[in-house]
């Protein structure tokens, strides 16, 4: 009786079986990291503002903006995500087609011979050899009494929504990766230039010491020490060049180009503006803004609806059907009243035994739902981790940048003093070259610190940002 009552209620109310999706609540947190946001002498954090959609324009470089725009148009990952979205939308349209009756048209022609001496003849005339022509129209409609079809459409719609957010995530990832790569490349250009300057100074000083040793004015110990310094400077250059070229190749691929077609240059650090105001927004609003979180949420919705689909498959299936047509032994007689036929019918099917396949599919759908829920939770945690890591990185960058700045100022002051001493005859040319070498190294260290601050600022923007502007 309970099953009959449940069945009657479902038929009357048109309910859809399975769990209904409810959007997960956002994390109830007030900050991204313990305590207050990290302090910086050049940047401040604004908790009451959300990042701009075109956040990369905050660096004030039209050349960088052009690189991002090119990547959003030409990156193959974006093209793949666009194709996946088109496929998901077509799948949704295909699922919605089941809401309508299926209409079929059939026609056949055959020539047959009956064994009239053994079986009753097919034709009323008793002819054993005949031709038979048939034309008919059929209509069938599956009644969605338990909402299985509606759940399938719901799951497909959620899948299309997930594909849309995955495309937005691809746009954001490409924009962020291009920005970070361009900023890193600008910093590496400076570091390579300063490293080359250090090598040139070390070689020149080695040549001077070699000449002085030949004249007895320099010891072998001094020459050996400079040989070691020169070797160290030369060994430090190739890794920087390799890193710079690898970053250039990465930027080319992000732009949809081959490595040989990489941009010859990127905006220099001196042409970029370090954003002073960094909008953080409300932490609980991050899940509503991040495309990857919204994609995971839509996937969770699709998995929830899929449970209803598998549950409906366990219940009776109802369908209606009708056929209308004509059969005749001559094609010219088709459609005449005495050749017409029709049928109307209803069908009920209930699977009694199928090796447990339907039950296991239902359990698999429940397991997929559990997995989607865990994946959503993991995506949310990763989103907050990305913001927290970027904040701490900027905090570290501020300390490193301050120390590197003091070191560069001290090296510059030392170089200026040596130059004045050289003019007054109180210092020799080797001392000048050594001071220039130290100054180049300090400038390279400061450039690396500045580039890291730029890149980590871009990473924070990317971790906080929502969908990029319409393309």
Per-residue pLDDT tens for 372-387?
A: 999 999 999 999 999 9
205 touches 428 (CB < 8 A): no
The strand ranges marked E within 235-387 are 277-279, 317-328, 340-349
**Radius of gyration of the chain from its Cα atoms, rounded to whole angstroms:** 37
pTM, two decimal places = 0.86
Give the number of C-alpha atoms closer than 13 A to the C-alpha of residue 20, restricted to the C-beta side.
3
C-alpha distances in Å from residue 377, one per residue of 98, 176, 310, 382, 383: 34, 23, 24, 9, 10
Lowest mean pLDDT among 192-196, 271-275, 425-429: 425-429
Alpha-carbon 65 to chain mean position:
20
- Between these two residues, 410 and 423, which has the higher pLDDT value? 410
> What's the first-to-final CA gap in the chain, in angstroms?
59
pLDDT band (50, 70, 90) for residue 91: very high
Angle at 158 between CA 295 and CA 385, to 5 degrees: 15
* % of the chain residues with pLDDT over 70: 95
Tell me the C-alpha distance between 78 and 174, whole Å.
Answer: 8
Instruction: Give alpha helix (H) positions in 97-147.
Output: none
What residue has token string 């449940």?
A: 6
Give the per-residue pLDDT at 14: 53
311 touches 18 (CB < 8 A): yes
As a whole number, mean pLDDT of residues 384-411 equals 91
As a whole number, mean pLDDT of residues 20-43 equals 83
Alpha-carbon 364 to chain mean position:
27
**Residue 67 phi/psi, 5° resolution?**
-65, -45
Say whether pLDDT at 408 is over 80.
yes
As a whole number, mean pLDDT of residues 402-406 equals 91
Of the candidates 106, 44, 142, 50, the one whose C-alpha atom is nearest the C-alpha of residue 347 is 142
As a whole number, mean pLDDT of residues 360-371 equals 95
Give the per-residue pLDDT at 211: 87
Give the per-residue pLDDT at 97: 92
Give the per-residue pLDDT at 164: 96
Say whether pLDDT at 83 is over 80.
yes
Determine how many CB atoms are found less than 10 A away from the CB of residue 384: 19
pLDDT band (50, 70, 90) for residue 355: confident
pLDDT band (50, 70, 90) for residue 116: confident
Give the per-residue pLDDT at 233: 87
Say which CATH architecture domain 15-464 belongs to.
Answer: Up-down Bundle (1.20)
Mapped onto helix, strand or coil, the DSSP state of residue 247 is helix
Mapped onto helix, strand or coil, the DSSP state of residue 233 is helix
Q: How many helices (H) and strands (E) does the chain have?
A: 9, 6
Tell me the residue length of the chain. 471
Determine how many CB atoms are found less than 10 A away from the CB of residue 412: 15
Mapped onto helix, strand or coil, the DSSP state of residue 106 is strand
């Amino acid at each position: 009786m309970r099953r009959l009552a449940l069945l009657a209620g479902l038929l009357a109310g048109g309910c859809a079986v399975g769990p209904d999706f409810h959007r997960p609540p956002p994390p109830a947190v007030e900050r991204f990291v313990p305590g207050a946001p990290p302090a910086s002498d050049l940047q401040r954090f604004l908790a009451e503002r959300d990042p701009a959609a075109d956040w990369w324009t905050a660096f004030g470089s039209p050349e960088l903006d052009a690189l991002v725009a090119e990547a959003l148009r030409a990156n193959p990952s974006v093209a793949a995500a666009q194709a996946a979205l088109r496929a998901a939308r077509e799948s949704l349209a295909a699922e919605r087609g089941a809401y309508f009756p299926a209409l079929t048209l059939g026609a056949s022609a055959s020539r047959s011979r009956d064994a009239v001496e053994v079986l009753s003849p097919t034709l009323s005339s008793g002819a054993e050899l005949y031709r038979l022509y048939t034309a008919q129209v059929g209509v069938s409609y599956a009644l969605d009494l338990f909402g299985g079809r509606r759940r399938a459409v719901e799951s497909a719609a959620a899948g299309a929504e997930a594909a849309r957010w995955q495309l937005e995530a691809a746009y954001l990832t490409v924009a962020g990766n291009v920005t970070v790569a361009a900023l890193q490349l600008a910093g590496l250009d400076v570091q390579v230039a300063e490293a080359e300057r250090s090598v040139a100074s070390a070689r020149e000083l080695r040549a001077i010491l070699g000449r002085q040793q030949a004249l007895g004015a320099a010891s072998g110990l001094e020459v050996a020490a400079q040989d070691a310094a020169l070797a160290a400077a030369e060994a430090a250059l190739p890794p920087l060049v390799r890193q710079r070229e690898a970053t250039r190749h990465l930027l080319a691929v992000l732009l949809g180009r081959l490595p040989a077609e990489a941009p010859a240059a990127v905006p220099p650090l001196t042409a970029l503006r370090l954003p002073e105001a960094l909008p953080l927004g409300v932490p609980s609003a991050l899940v509503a803004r991040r495309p990857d979180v919204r994609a995971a949420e839509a996937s969770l919705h699709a998995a929830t609806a899929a449970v209803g689909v598998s549950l409906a498959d366990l219940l009776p299936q109802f369908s209606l059907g009708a056929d209308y047509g004509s059969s005749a032994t001559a094609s010219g007689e088709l459609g005449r009243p005495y050749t017409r036929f029709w049928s109307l019918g209803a069908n009920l099917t209930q699977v009694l035994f199928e090796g447990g396949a339907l039950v296991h599919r239902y359990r698999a759908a429940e397991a997929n739902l559990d997995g989607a829920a865990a994946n959503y939770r993991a995506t949310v945690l990763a989103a907050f981790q990305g913001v927290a890591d970027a904040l701490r990185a900027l905090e570290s960058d501020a300390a490193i940048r301050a120390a590197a700045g003091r070191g560069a100022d001290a090296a510059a002051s030392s170089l200026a003093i040596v130059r004045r001493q050289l003019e007054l005859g109180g210092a020799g040319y080797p001392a000048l070259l050594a001071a220039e070498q130290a100054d180049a190294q300090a400038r390279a260290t400061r450039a690396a610190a500045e580039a890291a601050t730029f890149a980590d600022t871009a990473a924070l923007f990317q971790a906080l940002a929502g969908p990029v502007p319409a393309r």
